[in-house]
């Protein structure tokens, strides 16, 4: 039985059962809520080769990984995507492609089907063309619509993932209608998580409590109307819940992200914790970095916790929340996630919520994802 403390635990029984391969940070879109590192362009020259990715896929499977996601950036920019999916499928993984859809042609979908791809998650911004193109930073709405149709023609189960912000929350009924017409099995109305680009834009993105409650009631009406035809996921963001999310089911417990340059991360946002060094699959075995590396040990279990988490009877439920959010908002990744109402930093969340009630015309403009941002320039 896995134990708490510095040891592995939880339902993965010490295995990285869910592996995410971020094949590249390159992307044709410039979404304002992108969760890639703000300095993503630094990693362009250092992407793993096809053989290196295959080694990761094999080693993770040997360690008990069952589900594998191919993500980015935009993973279809890698010409070896089909080859990597084939490798994973042959080893018995459940394979999932997480894509913007740009770059997915009918020919590539057929090749991915042939390679054994089981599932596609398509990112979508809005039911309205202008809003969608504004949030994506480029004209992409019409292309995504036709890709969604092609995905269904090729018989893939699909989840439509729509990051929800104040710019598209009023369109929730139309988004549900559009998803239903597309024939998707799952619609994820994913409230934007405020890391990286989304955190830069938080004042312009965070919906108000009233908007969220209205959207939730619309979701509930649609659930009744649609029954089993489509499953809709909608979770009120932790900014409004008073409790943090059980991020990654606990640090280093079931999830392993491999970044484009081979860095191993306990979650895809972990690079924001710049006090940590991330072990690289080019230098270490997967077994070592998962079980032994100081970075994966750092917040595993509960021995690292400070008060109030240390003595809180909810620590087994949420593991103290999200380490990345704690770092980004309080400056110390070991602090209680400020989304928790017991956190001494909870006022930071309350201030952001108050800010969300300020009308758009009084806040600054959105910053689009751009490689120029790392040079300290805003995108125009
Ligand atoms: Fe969770 Fe820590 Fe808040 Fe307790 S104090 S509910 S463990 S985040
Ligand atoms: Fe990194 Fe939550 S996103 S621990």
373 — pLDDT class (breaks 50, 70, 90):
very low
State residue 87's pLDDT score.
Answer: 98
Distance CA(26)–CA(37), nearest Å, equals 11
Q: In this predicted model, which residue has the larger pLDDT, 374 or 274?
A: 274
Q: What is the distance, to the nearest Å, from the Cα of residue 100 to the centroid of all Cα atoms in its chain?
A: 13
Beta strands in the chain (DSSP E): 18-22, 67-71, 94-99, 119-123, 158-164, 186-191, 231-234, 255-258, 264-265
Residue 357 has pLDDT above 90, yes or no: no
Atom of ligand 2 nearest to the CA of 245: 2
Distance CA(136)–CA(34), nearest Å, equals 9
372 — pLDDT class (breaks 50, 70, 90):
very low
State residue 355's pLDDT score.
Answer: 83
**Which one of the ligands is nearest to 345 CA?**
1
State residue 32's pLDDT score.
Answer: 67
Residue 98, CA distances (Å) to 48, 125, 228, 364 in order: 18, 14, 24, 31
| pTM for this prediction | 0.87
**Which one of the ligands is nearest to 255 CA?**
2
Q: Give, using CA atoms, the residue closest to atom 2 of ligand 1.
A: 309
Share of the chain above pLDDT 90, in %: 67
Per the prediction, the chain carries an average pLDDT of 88
Q: Give, using CA atoms, the residue closest to atom 5 of ligand 1.
A: 309
Q: Give ipTM to 2 decimals.
A: 0.93
Residue 375 has pLDDT above 80, yes or no: no
Write the pLDDT tens digit of every residue in 16-30. Answer: 999 999 999 887 777
Share of the chain above pLDDT 70, in %: 87
3-class DSSP state for residue 158? strand
3-class DSSP state for residue 142? helix
| Low-confidence winner among 4-13, 79-88, 98-107, 163-172 (lowest mean pLDDT) | 4-13
Residue 225, CA distances (Å) to 157, 160, 184, 218, 232 in order: 21, 19, 16, 11, 12
12 — pLDDT class (breaks 50, 70, 90):
low
Per the CB < 8 A criterion, the answer to whether 339 and 241 are in contact is yes
Query: Taking residues 259-274, what's their average pLDDT?
Result: 92
State residue 200's pLDDT score.
Answer: 82
Distance CA(22)–CA(64), nearest Å, equals 19
Q: In this predicted model, which residue has the larger pLDDT, 132 or 287?
A: 287
State residue 226's pLDDT score.
Answer: 93
For residue 337, the 8-state DSSP code is: P
366 — pLDDT class (breaks 50, 70, 90):
low
Per the CB < 8 A criterion, the answer to whether 240 and 287 are in contact is no
State residue 28's pLDDT score.
Answer: 78
The CB density around residue 284, as the number of other CB atoms within 10 Å, is: 15
State residue 379's pLDDT score.
Answer: 29
Residue 270 has pLDDT above 70, yes or no: yes
Decide whether any atom of ligand 2 lies within 6 Å of the 248 Cβ. yes
Decide whether any atom of ligand 2 lies within 6 Å of the 323 Cβ. yes
Residue 172 has pLDDT above 90, yes or no: yes
Query: Taking residues 362-379, what's their average pLDDT?
Result: 45
Distance CA(208)–CA(356), nearest Å, equals 6
| Low-confidence winner among 69-83, 200-214, 297-311 (lowest mean pLDDT) | 200-214
324 is known to lie in a ligand binding site: no
Decide whether any atom of ligand 2 lies within 6 Å of the 255 Cβ. no
């Amino acid at each position: 039985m896995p134990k708490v403390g510095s040891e592995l635990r939880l339902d993965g029984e010490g295995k990285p059962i869910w592996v995410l391969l971020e094949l590249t940070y390159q992307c044709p879109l410039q979404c304002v809520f992108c969760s890639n590192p703000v300095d993503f362009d630094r990693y362009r020259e250092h992407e793993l080769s096809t053989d290196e990715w295959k080694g990761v896929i094999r080693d993770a499977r040997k360690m008990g990984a069952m589900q594998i996601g191919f993500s980015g950036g935009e993973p279809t920019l890698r010409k070896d995507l089909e080859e990597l999916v084939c490798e994973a499928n042959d080893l018995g993984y459940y394979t999932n492609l997480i894509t913007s859809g740009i770059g997915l042609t009918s020919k590539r979908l057929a090749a991915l089907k042939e390679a054994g791809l089981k599932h596609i998650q398509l990112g979508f911004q809005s039911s309205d063309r202008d809003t969608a193109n504004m949030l994506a930073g480029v004209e992409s709405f019409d292309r995504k619509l036709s890709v969604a149709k092609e995905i269904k023609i090729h018989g893939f189960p699909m989840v439509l993932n729509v990051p929800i912000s104040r710019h598209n929350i009023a369109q929730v009924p139309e988004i549900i209608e559009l998803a239903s017409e597309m024939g998707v099995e799952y619609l994820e109305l994913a409230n934007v998580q405020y890391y990286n680009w989304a955190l830069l834009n938080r004042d312009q993105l965070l919906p108000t409590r009233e908007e969220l409650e209205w959207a939730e009631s619309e979701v509930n009406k649609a659930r009744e109307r649609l029954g089993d035809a489509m499953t809709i996921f909608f979770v009120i963001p932790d900014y409004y819940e008073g409790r943090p999310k059980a991020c990654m089911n606990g640090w280093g417990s079931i999830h392993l992200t491999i970044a484009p340059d081979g860095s191993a991360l306990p979650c895809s946002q972990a690079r924001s914790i710049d006090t940590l060094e991330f072990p690289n699959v080019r230098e270490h075995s997967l077994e070592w970095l998962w079980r032994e590396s100081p970075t994966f040990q750092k917040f595993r279990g509960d021995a690292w916790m400070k008060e109030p988490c240390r003595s809180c009877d909810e620590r087994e439920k949420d593991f103290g929340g999200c380490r990345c959010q704690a770092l980004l908002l309080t400056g110390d990744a070991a602090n209680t996630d400020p989304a928790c109402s017991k956190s001494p930093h909870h006022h930071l969340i309350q201030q952001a919520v108050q800010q969300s009630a300020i009308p758009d015309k009084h806040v600054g403009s959105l910053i689009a994802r751009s490689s120029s941002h790392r040079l300290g320039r805003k995108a125009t």
